[in-house]
Structure formats: C-alpha cells, structure tokens
Structure 1
Amino acid sequence: MNKIPSVNLADFLSDDLAKKQKFINEIGHAYENIGFVALKGHFLDEALVTDLYAEVKNFFDLPVASKERYEIPGIGGQRGYVSFGKESAKGKKEGDLKEFWHFGQYVEDDAERAKEYPDNVLVDELPKFNEVGEKTFKMLEKTAKYVLRSLALYLNLEETYFDHYIRNGNSILRPIHYPPIKTAPQGAERAAAHGDINLITLLMGAQGKGLQVQNLNGEWIDAMAEPDEIMINVGDMLARHSNNKLKSTIHRVVNPPEELWGTSRYSIPFFMHPISEMKLDVLEDCADAAHLKQFEDITAGEFLEQRLKELGLKK
C-alpha cells in the first residue's frame, strides 16, 4: 500500500448490513496491510474542532513559567504539561522537538477506578481549555468505541467485546505543539519513528505534511487526511492481542524544510487505552499452526508500565 485508505464511519452505523460489512472489510484489510486509515463520519463537529485548536494555541502561547506550573512530578507525565524535549522514542537518546499536554479519563460511576488514575489538571488562566478538552475527549472516545466494534467483528469476536475494557479506560488526549525550529536539529525530529502503546490512536491535525508511515515494504509514505477526516492507527496493545494480524505501524513526524522552520505545528492524538487489568493475551482465533503465538501473556497495565519506562517518562 502506498496511500492511506479512507473509510466512513457512517457506513458502519448504517442500518444497511451490506454497507456495515463493507466498512468492516475495508478497515480490517487496511489494518492488516498498513495499520492506518483516514476516517470520515466521526463525532467531532467543526465548531468543537475550531474551539479546541484555539484553546490549545492559547495554552502553548502562555509564558514558559506559567506552563511549568502545570508539570506534575512523579506521575510519568500522565496528566498536565510535559515540557519541550522530555519524551524520546524507544531506543532514541535525543528528545523529540515537542511540548504537550495530557487530558485523562473522566471516570463515571466507579470510585475505585477513579483512585487508580491521577486527577486531571485544570488550567486556571483558561477555563475554556479545560471544558473543550473534556468535550473532545468524550467525542473521540465515542468514535473509538465504534471503530473497535468493527474490529471485534473483523476478528470474529462479539461486536461489543471491547466495550467493557474501554469504559473508564486509561485513555489520553494529547494536544502537541511542535515549536518553530531555531537551529539545525542534531539527530532530533519532531517525533522520532515509533509505534504507539495503546489499542488504537485517533489523530487530529494530520492535514499538513509531516506525518509519515512506514509501509510493509519499509518505505516512508506521507499520511495526510482531508479536513473532515481523522487518522486512526493500530497500537501495540491491539497488535499483540491479534497476534500481529492487525499491524501497529511505525510512524514519525519529520522536520519541515528549512524555509518552514519558523512555523509551529499542532497535532492532537487521542490514545485509546483499556482498563489496566485487560489481558492482552493472543486471541484464540489469531493463532494456529501457520500463525504461531508471537507474544507472551501480559495485562494492559503491565505493558503500559514497561513502555513508559522505555520512553524515559518513568524511572
């Protein structure tokens, strides 16, 4: 595959069973072959997207000292602000050329689960930032739920198989700011080549050039969405669970050409995580004599802990 396939969630939500099945086949085929799709028909409306980008820009435009007040020690960057260059890709010593913010789960009807996660951090200067972040989180979570329902059917599971695991899951909404580049980066990229940790990632802000995906032949291809689309890719948790039937594709955000170094780039991924006790053991239907089990048994919580240490976010 040399381009990212486009699908429309409206087909899956349709009462027309042929359309629904076509969506399941197309998204499943895309995830087996390139690990990414561009999705139309999601639950984000244009006004919310406009508000979100305005508020994200307002936050990153705050003075560094103001932003650093929201950097919370001891939680591995899971909530609030993470300052420039703190995160690096697995196996890479240079920090990525970005700063970011984390909105986490808004737990409903489960006091024990709420204790498991750090509290969301509220920005005093920007009340609308907090409000718009929560609304976006919930709309992307809703979109992700239906994408996972389609993948459950593709994997011969009951349609709502993932619902229990993602309700109050450890998901993260991450607005990222890639600031203007002031001097030639020494081996550092805006985001070095990496695979995502989680089940699936929904990415807003892939309209401009920068995001690249490595196809199965090892070639880097540009991944650009239309303005009404979001990019959705498989993460390592789902790749493990499906015995690599669904591919967690390596991707990166390359530095722009030198004439564009003076510009900022904003990107807003939503990382869909399950609850920590979900078993990521290889599904029975995904292993046989021709497809031997590739991964040891592990829970989502154990796997996340392992990967946060690899990224330098936890000691």
Structure 2
Amino acid sequence: MLDTPVSAVPPLSLLEDQSDPEGFARDFGASFERYGFAVIADHGIDQALIDRAWALTAAFFDEPLAYKKQFHIPGQGGARGYTPFGLEIAKDASEHDLKEFWHVGRDLPAGHRYRATMPDNLWPDRPEGFRETFTALFAEFDRVGARLLSAIARHLGLASDWFVDPVENGNSVLRLLHYPPISADAPGVRAGAHEDINLITLLLGAEEAGLELLDRDGRWLPIAPPKGAMVVNVGDMLQRLTNHVLPSTTHRVVNPPVERRGLPRYSMPFFLHLRPDFEIRTLPGCISADRPDRYPQSITADEYLFQRLREIGLLK
C-alpha cells in the first residue's frame, strides 16, 4: 500500500483560466514542472458527449475480434483504426501491454501536404453514431488542448498564441483504450512504464485506479482525479522543446486488486501533436549556464515520431 496521499497531484479548475489567467498559467506550469502531470477539472467538454463516447467505446470493443480486425492495417504504426490486444510494448519492456485500442486522427482535405503521413480515418459501420461522436470529441479535445497550451506558453514567458502555428493541423490522435478483464495471475501490467511521445496528452477515464507516475525519488504515485476531471501530462516533444524544464514523466497502468481483475477498464487519451514538419528546436528561454542545451540538433516532429514508434514496436 502506497503511503503517498491520493491528492499528490492537486486538481486545478480550467474556469480559473478565465477569472485569473496568469494565476492559472502559474499553477498549471508549476504542476507540470513538479510532476510532469496536472489534473484539470471544469474542462468544459459536454458530459453528454463524453457519456455517448464511453458507451460506444464499450460497444465497439464488445464486437467479435474478427470484426474488429477488419480495421487493423499492418505496417501503419497503428495510426488509424484498430490495434489488437498485446501488440504494443513499452520501450525496453519484456512484456506486451494488456490492451487493445482504436485511433481517430485528424481529417484532412484532398491534396493536403500532410496526407502522406496522416492517413484517412477508418470508421466501423457499427455501433451506430461512432463516427459522429468521435469526430465531435476529437474537436473538443483540440479546443481544450489549445487553451492549455496557451497557459503553458504564458508560463514559459512566451506569447499566449505561441503554440497556435506549431500545432495547426498537427498529427494528433484520439485513442480509445480497452484493458480487458485479466486473470488473477496475469503476467505483466496493463500498460508498462513509459513516457508519451507527443506534445501534451489529455486523458479521460483515469478515475478507475491504476494510473501511476514515477516521482523523483523513485516512488510510484497514484493519480486519482475527481470524477469527470481530466489528467494532462507532458510528452517527450514538449520536454525536448523546453530542455526538460517541463519533464515527460514515466507513468504506467498497473493491474487492479485481484477482486477487480474481472472488470474491464476503458480510457480515452488524446495525444496532442505538433504539425508533421515543425522543427523541434530548444526554446532559448529554457537554456542557461545551469541548464545547457541538451538538444543542439533540431528534428522534425515527424522524424521524432517515427523514431519513437519503431522503439515501441508499432513500426518496423
């Protein structure tokens, strides 16, 4: 039993971004600097939309495996559609993760210059309303993510709109995650210790116990947000951009107590990405004599993404 209080990452209200924008930016940035994570209440995504999304997520994953596998495209790195149970593995892990998932990406018009690396979405013909619901939810995550990035820009001493261009038509992905029921003696964990690749991650569904972050002293801290709140964390791209001022913290999803292992777990992370051709260069304000530049060579967001997808087994 961990002796760390469940409230190790205290919740913040996004309503404060309107009433006290500088105070919210300060507190949000401080949570990122301390933990690499923040918990955001009052995020403003309509609960009715979220409830429909949960119902459709469960309904889709209840479909027969033969139906779901129609939407798996080998060699695409799981960018769109279905990725079967046990395919993804955390970097340097010995056991595959105990999960299956579905990816929704950004819809781009015909002829757009990013279509080569941002393929069309796949949409199942059942359950009914799947496409409409997740298209709407993707747009809402995009909207909330933009507000949070504006607060991060202010915390870093940048213009509030600094991230607008870097994430325009970014390669963001909404992941519908299903951790099926497991046996009492199942090997591995539901999601092995890892860091996220992208800029920031916005997560719904962390109320079910299991999500943990690795603190500076080597202890695993549970993240247990209030009902309906969103967990937000720094990704490796933002860590690189800020020269580790904002750390991309190792996290995992551990198996539940034996008495709850017969229950499924669902979550919906939104991996907010930079546009594919954005050059990730260390921000000058994050370099000092005490913090020399760790990344003197820039890299495009796409190059970095593909490098990391190979490391976790989604690309060969």
TM-score by length of structure 2 reads 0.95
1:152 is matched with: 153
DSSP 3-state at the match of 2:226: coil
Instruction: Spell out the pairing of 1:105-254 with structure 2 (5 A cutoff).
Output: 105-107=106-108, 111-182=112-183, 184-186=185-187, 188-254=188-254
Distance in 2 (alpha carbons) for counterparts of 1:74 and 1:89: 18
Query: Retained in 2: the 8 A contact 1:5–1:36?
Result: no
CA RMSD of aligned residues (A): 1.5
DSSP 3-state at the match of 2:269: strand
The farther-off stretch of 50-59 and 155-164 is: 155-164
* In the alignment, structure 1 residue 7 sits paired with structure 2 residue 8: no
Q: Which amino acid aligns with 2:221?
A: I
Q: Deviations over 1:219-259 (max 9, x none)?
A: 11110111131000000000000000001111100001112
DSSP 3-state at the match of 2:299: coil
Query: Retained in 2: the 8 A contact 1:43–1:140?
Result: no
Q: Which amino acid aligns with 1:182?
A: S
Structure 1 residue 108: Cα displacement: 5.9
Q: Which amino acid aligns with 2:14?
A: L
Query: Retained in 2: the 8 A contact 1:102–1:174?
Result: yes
Distance in 2 (alpha carbons) for counterparts of 1:45 and 1:107: 25
Query: Retained in 1: the 8 A contact 2:114–2:276?
Result: no
Structure 1 residue 110: Cα displacement: 7.1
Distance in 2 (alpha carbons) for counterparts of 1:106 and 1:24: 30
- How many pairs are equivalent? 310
Q: Deviations over 1:135-184 (max 9, x none)?
A: 11110111000100111111111111111121211000001000010362
Structure 1 residue 115: Cα displacement: 4.3
Instruction: Spell out the pairing of 1:43-62 with structure 2 (5 A cutoff).
Output: 43-62=44-63
Q: Give percent identity, aligned residues only.
A: 40
Instruction: Spell out the pairing of 1:58-137 with structure 2 (5 A cutoff).
Output: 58-107=59-108, 111-137=112-138
Query: Retained in 1: the 8 A contact 2:204–2:228?
Result: no
Structure 1 residue 72: Cα displacement: 1.2
Structure 1 residue 106: Cα displacement: 2.1
Distance in 2 (alpha carbons) for counterparts of 1:207 and 1:243: 31
Instruction: Spell out the pairing of 1:269-284 with structure 2 (5 A cutoff).
Output: 269-284=269-284
**Which runs of no fewer than 5 residues in structure 2 stay unpaired?**
none
**Which runs of no fewer than 5 residues in structure 1 stay unpaired?**
none
DSSP 3-state at the match of 1:147: helix
Distance in 2 (alpha carbons) for counterparts of 1:247 and 1:167: 23
Distance in 1 (alpha carbons) for counterparts of 2:120 and 2:127: 18
The farther-off stretch of 70-79 and 60-69 is: 70-79
Q: Which amino acid aligns with 2:181?
A: P
DSSP 3-state at the match of 1:270: strand
